[in-house]
Amino acid sequence: MLKLGVNIDHVATLREARYRGLPDGEPSPVAAARICEAAGAHGITAHLREDRRHIQDRDVWSLREVVKTRFNLELANAPEIIEIALRVRPDIVCLVPERRQEVTTEGGLDVLAAEPALTDTRKRMNDAGIEVSLFISPEADQIAASARTGAQFIELHTGQFAEHFHDPLKGRVALDRLVAGAKLAHELGLKVNAGHGLNYENLKALYEVPHLIELNIGHSLVSRAVCAGLDRAVREMLALMQDYA
């Protein structure tokens, strides 16, 4: 069964738009995590960025307390963030590249260039009982390097697939790369997740990709929630206002 990990970063993005620097605010990523789990999600994903643009340290600690399924903490291979992860002890960490100017994570890790450092972090995480995934593009050399680090998982970056989904030629090429990458990873003993840019329209095309365990999806779910849940929010606000004299 293909599992769903819900990335709640964009819930925090909405909160930070008004409550940046304050100790509380809405919407709550923790409340969102509870709703997602109650709806059947198999895991919760959050990215603690170095610049703390959305998820905050307090969110990570609270999520560790309340998540009952599987808590996946995305993070850069940066000393401060690594130390936080080792204290929080999520079920799994996904190491991702991080650039300050990007809106969201673009591109995969260059595992080849950082293999010794990533291997060291992988060992530290595993010694603490935390599984490790590496967020990479579906390239054979990166997949092979990921296997050499000893990581348990890779997460295939599906951004190119999502970007070219409506282009028959480029979309086909991107999908074929994911298929080949998943097959190679499986052969090398890696478990395979995928994510980035997945939505209600392009998801079923990924059925061609073998060996997938979990899809991590965030923006599309939060976007859908804004629209699908807005009717109820307006009605509840009107109900609160109706007794005004």
CA-angle at 184, arms to 182 and 185, nearest 5°: 65
Instruction: Please give the torsion angle defined by the CA atoms of residues 146, 84, 87 and 85, in that order, rounded to the nearest 10 degrees.
Output: -30
**196 noted as active-site residue:** yes
Instruction: Select which of 10, 54, 157, 196 is catalytic.
Output: 196
Concerning whether 74 is annotated as a catalytic residue, the answer is yes
Average pLDDT over residues 58-68: 98
Closest alpha carbon to 93 in 117, 41, 128, 65: 128
Q: What is the pLDDT of residue 107?
A: 75
Place of tokens 């300050």: 100
pLDDT top residue among 108 and 100: 108
Q: Is the pLDDT of residue 27 over 80?
A: yes
Three-state DSSP class for residue 133: strand
Tokens 């060996």 -> residue:
211
Could you say which of 74, 98, 139, 155 is catalytic? Answer: 74
Mean pLDDT across the chain, nearest whole number?
Answer: 94
Q: Which stretch of DSSP H or E encloses residue 58?
A: helix 57-66
Q: Is the pLDDT of residue 102 over 60?
A: no
Q: Is 60 exceeded by the pLDDT of residue 244?
A: yes
State the catalytic residue, choosing from 10, 37, 47, 139: 47
Q: Could you read off the pLDDT of 215-224 as tens digits, one per residue?
A: 999 999 999 9
H or E stretch at 125: helix 115-127
pLDDT of residue 234: 84
> Given this model, what pLDDT does residue 122 score?
98
Residue 180 dihedral angles phi and psi, to the nearest 5°: -65, -40
Cis before 27 (ω within 30): yes
Domains and CATH numbers, the chain: 72-241 (3.20.20.70)
Burial of 236 (0-12, 13-18, 19+ CB in 10 A): exposed
- Span 161-187, average pLDDT: 97
